[in-house]
């Protein structure tokens, strides 16, 4: 019998704060630490409802190493209930968990304050090992996310091409099926805080058209499934603007890219 792999299969977001260097001299250290501890706990508890599906087990982890935040989720779907689509159901559930938590976290990092912290990063699909107690991050999904996290020329958290393809093609197709898997996937992707097909400006080469997490659409569910936004979208926008007040050219460029994205994100905002 082959040994069980220590790697989990799931979705992982790697997030990096722009302009974090020197934060301890510019801001009250207690305020910075309180922002991280309070906000991580708040968003972790906000989005349980969409994943409350019979036959699904979700393992969500959040880890912070200085300004880098890692959000990881692996989900196991019962094969007797979801059949051949069980792996896809687990992947889409993990994407939902990571997208919801990331949207709330990125929005909250600028909407609560001070100081406002603008995050960029990437979300990947694959195998990983994460142990917060040992501060240990390993696996191909970790390597891929770390390679891509700082490529965006603004505060954008974008989906890797593989994960974007899963959402736009396999998940959308499966959601049309009259089956337990189709019903679960429809539940997961309904109101997902994502801006689809956005041309993400990268440090090298042309923009990459992919899905981007919408920080204006962080949401909270109650036990009956009623939903509301975690943060006022206009407060989130003001927070991003405040995060890019430095007059250096590279800072203004990143701020411009970010605000142009938020214009699009606000137009498609739908908290349902």
Residue with the bigger pLDDT between 190 and 3: it is 190
pLDDT the model gives residue 2: 45
pLDDT the model gives residue 271: 43
Torsion from C-alpha of 211, 212, 217, 222, nearest 10 degrees: 70
Rounded CA separation 258/45 (Å): 27
DSSP, residue by residue, 178-222 = SSHHHHHHHHHHTT-SEEEEEEE-BSSSSPEEEEEE-GGG-EEE-
Asked if the model's pLDDT at residue 261 lies above 90, the reply is yes
pLDDT the model gives residue 28: 67
Helices and strands, number each (H, E), in the chain: 10, 10
pLDDT band at 160 (very low <50, low <70, confident <90, very high): very high
- CATH number (3.30.70.1230, 3.40.50.720, 3.40.50.740, 3.20.20.80) of 8-267 reads 3.30.70.1230
User: Which range has the worst mean pLDDT, 35-39, 129-133, 138-142?
Assistant: 35-39
Asked if the model's pLDDT at residue 125 lies above 70, the reply is yes
Reported pTM: 0.88
pLDDT band at 210 (very low <50, low <70, confident <90, very high): very high
pLDDT band at 212 (very low <50, low <70, confident <90, very high): very high
Query: Could you report the per-residue pLDDT of 20-29, keeping only the tens digit for each?
Result: 666 665 666 7
pLDDT the model gives residue 23: 63
**Percent of the chain with pLDDT strictly greater than 90:** 32
Rounded CA separation 162/156 (Å): 18
Asked if the model's pLDDT at residue 18 lies above 50, the reply is yes
pLDDT the model gives residue 45: 59
- Indicate the helix (H) or strand (E) that contains 38: helix 29-44
Distances (CA, A) of 130 to 43, 50, 114, 165, 238: 19, 24, 30, 25, 34
Please count the residues of the chain: 272
Asked if the model's pLDDT at residue 50 lies above 90, the reply is no
pLDDT the model gives residue 1: 35
Query: Could you report the per-residue pLDDT of 140-158, keeping only the tens digit for each?
Result: 988 898 889 888 999 999 9
């Amino acid at each position: 019998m082959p040994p069980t792999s220590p790697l989990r299969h799931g979705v992982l977001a790697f997030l990096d704060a722009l302009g974090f260097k020197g934060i301890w001299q510019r801001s009250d250290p207690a305020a910075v630490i309180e922002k991280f501890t309070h906000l991580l706990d708040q968003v972790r508890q906000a989005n349980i409802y969409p994943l409350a599906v019979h036959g699904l087990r979700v393992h969500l982890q959040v880890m912070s190493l200085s300004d880098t935040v890692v959000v990881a989720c692996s989900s196991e779907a019962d094969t007797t209930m979801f059949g051949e689509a069980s792996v896809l159901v687990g992947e889409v559930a993990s994407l939902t968990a990571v997208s919801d938590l990331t949207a709330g976290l990125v929005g909250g990092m600028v909407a609560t304050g001070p100081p406002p912290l603008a995050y960029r990063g990437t979300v990947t699909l694959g195998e990983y090992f994460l142990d917060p107690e040992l501060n240990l991050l390993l696996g191909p999904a970790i390597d891929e996310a770390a390679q891509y996290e700082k490529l965006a020329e603004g505060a954008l958290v974008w989906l890797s091409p593989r994960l974007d393809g899963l959402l736009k093609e396999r998940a959308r197709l499966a959601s049309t099926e009259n089956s337990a898997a189709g019903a679960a996937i429809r539940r997961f992707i309904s109101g997902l805080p994502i801006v689809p097909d956005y041309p993400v400006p990268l440090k090298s080469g042309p923009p990459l058209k992919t899905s981007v997490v919408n920080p204006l659409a962080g949401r909270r569910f109650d036990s009956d499934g009623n939903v509301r936004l975690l943060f006022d979208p206009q407060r989130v926008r003001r927070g991003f603007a405040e995060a890019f007040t430095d007059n250096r050219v590279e800072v203004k460029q990143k701020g411009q890219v970010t605000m142009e994205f938020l214009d699009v994100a606000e137009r498609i905002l739908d908290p349902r």
